[in-house]
Amino acid sequence: MIFIKSKEEIELMRQSNLLVSRTHAMLAAEIVEGVSTLKLDKLAEQFIRDNGGIPGFLNYNGFPNTLCVSINDVVVHGIPKGNQLKSGDIVSIDCGAVVNGYHGDSCFTFEVGEVSPEVKALLVCTKESLYKGIEQAVAGNRIGDIGYAVQKHAELHGYSVVRELVGHGIGRNLHESPEVPNYGKKGKGVKLSENMTIAIEPMINMGRKEIYQEADHWTIKTRDGKPSAHFEHTIAITKGEADILSDFSLIEEVLNSKK
C-alpha cells in the first residue's frame, strides 16, 4: 500500500530529514584520517537524541547501530566498529532519524584525505545520477522513469548499477511501498502521484554490478572488490519539480570550509 501524505505530514518529514542532514554536516567535520567508525556512530546517536530525534536505524530489524558506515568496496549496511578511516578511503554514511513519528533518511559518500581522481569521478557521477533520477520524480511519471535516468547516466560513464538494493517509500515507516530501483525502463512501474514521499538512493559501482553479503548478515560488498558510492535524498512528489526534504548544502558547506 502506498501512503499519500498530507501537506502537514510532509512538513513533519522535512523536520526529520533536516535533522538527518544536520547530523551529516556535524559528521563532515569529524571525518578525518584516523577517526574510528564507532566514534562517528556514537557522535551521530548523541546528536540525534540531543536534537529531539530517535535514531531510525538503531535496532531496525536488529541492526546494531545508528549509522550504516560503508568504506570503499562496502556498498551498504557497513557496521561501525573500531576500525579507523585512512587517507584515500571513501565512506558512505547512511543515516536515519525519527522526529514526531516520521522518518528521515539520507546518505552521503565522503572522501577521507587524498582520494584518487578515479574515485572522485565515481562520487561525482553517483551524485549526478541521484539528481538525474530526482528530475524524473514528478507527478504523472512512473518509477521506471527514475531508474532509467539513474542507470543511463551511470552506465554512460562506464559504471554499473547495483540491482538487489533499491530506494523506497518512506513516512511513518522507514520502508514503505513503492520500491524505487536505480535501473528500469521509461514509462514502466508505479505511477507517481502528488504527495508521495520516496527515498531515491543510487548505489553505483566502479566495476561490475555483482555484490555479496558477509557472514554478519548486514555488510554488502562488491564482488570484484572495487569501490562503490551511495547518495540518497528523501523527496516529496509534486506536479512540478520534486520537493527535496533532505539537504546536501549543509554538508557541502562544512566540507568546503575544510579545504
pLDDT given at position 96? 98
Task: Evaluate whether residue 1 is within a structural domain.
Answer: no
Residue 2 lies in a domain: no
Burial class (CB in 10 A: 0-12, 13-18, 19+), 35: middle
What integer pLDDT is reported at residue 258 of this predicted model? Answer: 85
Torsion of CA 50, 172, 151, 192, to 10 degrees: -140
What is residue 259's predicted lDDT score, i.e. its pLDDT?
Answer: 78
pLDDT in tens, 147-162: 999 999 999 999 999 9
User: Is residue 76 situated within a structural domain?
Assistant: yes
Number of domains observed in the structure of the chain: 1
- Residue 51 in any domain: the answer is yes
What residue numbers bound the domain in which 173 lies? Answer: 7-258
**Residue from 5, 10, 240, 231 nearest 141 by CA:** 240
CA-based nearest residue to 183, from 159, 211, 207, 202: 202
User: Does residue 49 lie in a domain region?
Assistant: yes
CATH number, position 75: 3.90.230.10
Instruction: Give yes or no for a contact between 65 and 56, defined as CB atoms under 8 angstroms apart.
Output: no
Which residues of the chain are under the pLDDT cut of 50?
none
Nearest to 149 by CA among 168, 164, 128: 128
Q: Name which of 165, 228, 173, 172 is nearest 200 in CA terms.
A: 165
Give the C-alpha separation, 93 to 97, whole Å. 13
